[in-house]
Amino acid sequence: MADQTIEPILAKSAASGAPAIAAPVVVAVPKSRRPRGLGHLLEQEHILAGALLAPTLVILTLFIAYPFVLGIWLAVSDKVVGRPGNFVGLQNFWVNLNDTIFLRAFQNTFVYTFIATALKLALGMGAALLLNQHFRFKRIVRAGMLLPWIVPTVLSTLAWQWMFDATFSVFNWMLLNVGLISQRILWLGDGTMAMGCLILVNVWRGMPFFAITLLAGLQTVNPDLHEAAEIDGANAWQRYWRVTLPLIKPIMLVVVLFSMIATFADFQLIYVLTRGGPYSSTHVFGTYAYEIAMRAAKLGQGASISLFLFPFLLMVIVFQLWYIRRSD
């Protein structure tokens, strides 16, 4: 088409004797089409976001949502091993409320959680303040602080079980040689003392997590703030209470939240050390649910015991998140 347009112009110019003027030639180039493949689809943000979120959603569905929904169904059924369950409503929950061992486990769960968390917070804060000072080999000390927390729970609990053993207890040996006791103490033979031993082991295991996390928070505090407070006449306690604590409070609340959730659902430590004994006096929700569901084969009632944790954990999470947002 371009050639047909140019030829008459050149012929007219030649006939008139005028010099021929070359006209610009415009060639239409067809627009190349991009292949609409996977790369083109991923250039769209909503498709890319869905592709990135899909594996996480699948994992959450398979390992969290499905077990949670199945647990709710089991809790409202009379399911036992080897027999399909029928819907019974809230009957399992009423049975639990009339069970003296369940009521003891209910009490033990809250006592165990709140006392252990309070001790871990207090000792962890003290350890973090000490580790925040400058001294020789502080990196080695900080690394060694994590050992109780990174050692497998079952392995460390077996070591504590040996130390609390009625016959071979290292604590009894030390106390007998020092002369503080005249006969061996049954550390795990009494319900109250066994619960104290469980709290001790939980604090020993969980305190390093508090210490290292709070230490990270302490290192974000600007030293100039402490210097200004010291110039204004504030002593060490006032500087900690008025300067340090408000600045690390969000970190502290998050650590407490994680610790309470983990302690509420603790199973390995208690089951290995006491198995809920003596005489079912140290059962918590986790261990008692296991005993009913796995040993007694009552899956429905065991699931209902486990679900008693959910409302309390939800209330704790909502309250702490509300408090953190309110503080911000």
Q: What's the rounded Cα separation, in Å, for the pair 155 and 139? A: 26
How long is the chain? 328
Would you give the DSSP letter of residue 280?
Answer: T
Share of the chain above pLDDT 90, in %: 44
Report which residue type is found at 30.
P
What is the residue extent of each domain of the chain? 35-75, 91-327
Contact in structure between 210 and 130 (CB atoms under 8 Å): no
Residue 314, number of CB atoms within 10 A of its CB: 10
Which pLDDT value is given to residue 36? 59
CATH topology of domain 91-327: MetI-like fold (1.10.3720)
| Position 285 confidence tier, pLDDT thresholds 50, 70, 90 | very high
Which carries the bigger pLDDT value, residue 273 or residue 8? 273
| Structure tokens that stand for 228 in this block | 């200004």
C-alpha closest to that of 305 among 1, 131, 102, 21: 102
The mean per-residue pLDDT over the stretch 184-205 comes to 93
Per-chain mean pLDDT for the chain: 85
Would you give the DSSP letter of residue 18?
Answer: P
**In the chain, count of helices (H) and strands (E)?**
18, 0
Which carries the bigger pLDDT value, residue 34 or residue 105? 105
The mean per-residue pLDDT over the stretch 185-204 comes to 93
Which pLDDT value is given to residue 327? 67
The mean per-residue pLDDT over the stretch 306-310 comes to 85
| Residues 41, 43, 44, 49, CA torsion sign | positive
| Position 35 confidence tier, pLDDT thresholds 50, 70, 90 | low
